[in-house]
Amino acid sequence: MGYIVPIGPYHPSLEEPVHARLYTEGEMIKDAEIFIGYNHRGIEKLAMQKNIIQTMVLVERVCGICSHSHALTFAMACESISGIKVPKRGQYIRAIIAELERLHSHYLWLGIALHIIGHDSLFMHSWDDREIVMDALEELTGNRVNYGMVTYGGSRRDISKEQAENVLAMLDKLEESNKRLADFLLNDKTVALRTQGVGVLTTEDAIRIGAIGPHARASNVPVDVRIDAPYCCYDEFDFQKAVWPSGDVFARVVVRVLENFESIKIIRQALDSLPAGKINMGNKVPTIKPGEYMNRHEAPRGQLSYKVVTNGTDKVARVSIHVPTFKNAPTVPTMLRNNSVADAGLIIASIDPCFSCMDR
């Protein structure tokens, strides 16, 4: 006998509102639909009433987890319209904070995923590692959530030699801990039973639907803006795309663990070879010539795009934000089909959704 099982939009296991409708036969999901758009905060409209610096502060609050990504992508779009070249030291600092934010986001997601499958010991382990990252971010920026490190024309704050040494010491501790976490995740029977073969998204489906970020790379689609279209001096760092072929929830776990190692490598290289010189072009409120530009950044969840239109004043005429969750959410019905209702929550969570970003 068939049933329609609703999940959300308001549900104890969901921190943000999304509605999935499952069409089931017994315990098996035969088809599914996903519905989005339950919040609207008017950020894009509000951006049209603020100057460039104020808008940078505003867009940083689109999301609490990838706040630096939003400010960075907006700033790069404005700088591209103006033809401003950010000082190399400022670009390195931007990349360092971006990779620390990626670590923070991935550890956060790993902990939530492990909590969903009932493995609270590894959940605690993952979030303990996340605290190391948060301490590093606080050391460099003074904040644990919205870092305020991006300004028009570069970085707002410099990194001292003492701060760099402290962060490098934290990275040594984090890398050893990440090795233990990776060993647990790759060999633990509970993790394997709950994730292997669950919520499969094939390479063909990932390409057809348009998956991006770690979600796509877990389906053997090697897309990464940092390598495919380098910015912030990423072409000067030695790192690899983390790709896994199986396309299931287990692959999404593995990809994020592997990316943690790559992010640690990037931060080390950037701190060890941090160029001398100034970090920005000055902090005055700029007037930007008329123009438009779309800029991409590899945020923790995937490609984040900002389309910015300027009109020759200190304000923007239009800001259009395209977030990773909007691209990855359409893959959820495909992943849910022929899986158990008991796995639905984990499968939805496996795309690392941020409905706060999407319903801006």
The first and second tokens of residue 299, run together, are: 């945020």
The DSSP bridge partners found for residue 292 are 309
Whether 106 is covered by a domain: the verdict is yes
* Within a domain: 123: yes
Q: How far apart are CA 193 and CA 201, in angstroms?
A: 18
Instruction: Determine the pLDDT at residue 259.
Output: 96
| Per-residue pLDDT tens digits for 145-158 | 899 999 999 999 99
Task: Report d(CA 247, CA 36) in Å as an integer.
Answer: 24
* Listed range (148-152, 153-157, 188-192, 290-294) with the worst mean pLDDT: 188-192
pLDDT tens per residue across span 51-104: 999 999 999 999 888 999 999 999 999 999 999 999 999 999 999 999 999 999
Q: Provide CB contacts within 8 A for 214, sequence distance 6+.
A: 106, 242, 252, 255, 256, 259, 300, 301, 302, 352
Q: Which domain holds residue 235?
A: 40-323
Q: What is the CATH number of the domain that holds 61?
A: 1.10.645.10
Kindly report the average pLDDT of the chain as a whole number.
92
Residue 328 lies in a domain: no
5: which residues sit within 8 A by CB, 6+ positions away?
Answer: 21, 22, 24, 341, 344
Answer yes or no: is 56 within a domain: yes
The CA distance from 216 to 25, in Å, is 29
Cis peptide before 300 (omega within 30 of 0): no
Count of structural domains, the chain: 1
pLDDT band per the 50, 70, 90 thresholds, residue 13: low
> What are the pLDDT digits (tens) for 326-347?
999 999 999 999 999 989 888 9
Give the DSSP letter of residue 342: G
- Asked if residue 352 belongs to a domain, the reply is no
Task: Tell me the three state secondary structure of residue 150.
Answer: strand
> 291-299 and 19-25: which strand pairing?
unpaired
Angle at 74 between CA 71 and CA 80, to 5 degrees: 135
Closest CA to 221 of 239, 203, 241, 208: 203
Helices (H), the chain: 43-47, 52-59, 67-82, 88-116, 120-141, 161-187, 189-195, 203-209, 213-217, 225-228, 249-272, 324-328, 332-336, 344-349, 355-358
For residue range 26-60, list pLDDT tens digits in order: 899 999 998 888 888 889 999 999 999 999 999 99
Which of 107, 133, 102, 134 lies closest to 302 in space, CA to CA?
102
Kindly report the pTM of this predicted structure.
0.94
Instruction: Tell me if 20 is assigned to some domain.
Output: no
Residue 174 counted as domain residue: yes
Domain-located, residue 148: yes
Place of tokens 């990037």: 266
CA–CA dist 308, 135 (Å, integer): 33
